[in-house]
Structures are given as structure tokens and as C-alpha cells.
Amino acid sequence: DRYFASSKICSVCGHKKKELALSERIYLCECGNRMDRDVNAAINILKEGKRIYKKCA
């Protein structure tokens, strides 16, 4: 999905932020998750890839 919001979704709880400025380098979630924004996005992309793979396999 070209518009998959990998940076806005918490990789721990799945909460999606409405707004996330590019200048925000640390992802903070209400669940307590705190990590580098790019690491959070990478985890979400990996999870989405696995989900799509399982659907096709």
C-alpha cells in the first residue's frame, strides 16, 4: 500500500497518530512506547510485509 502510514502507527499497540511532523524524530505513544521514528516505521513495514505474505501463501 503506497499510503501505508508506517511512521504514524505505534509498532507496539497499533495506535495511529493523526499528525506527526517530520521534525519529530522520537516516536512517543500513549501506551508508553518510545523509540526512533525510523525504527518504529521499519518494524511496522516488516509486520505489514509478513501480513501480506501470509495472506498470499
| Ordered DSSP codes for 1-28 | -TT--TTTB-TTT--B-S---TT--EEE
In the predicted model, residues of the chain with pLDDT beneath 70 are none
Domain boundaries, position 6: 1-57
8 A C-beta contact, residue 26 and residue 38: no
Q: What pLDDT is attached to residue 51?
A: 95
Stated as kind and residue range, the H or E segment containing 47 is helix 37-56
Q: What pLDDT is attached to residue 57?
A: 82
* Domains of the chain: total: 1
Q: What pLDDT is attached to residue 8?
A: 97
pTM score: 0.89
Q: What pLDDT is attached to residue 11?
A: 98
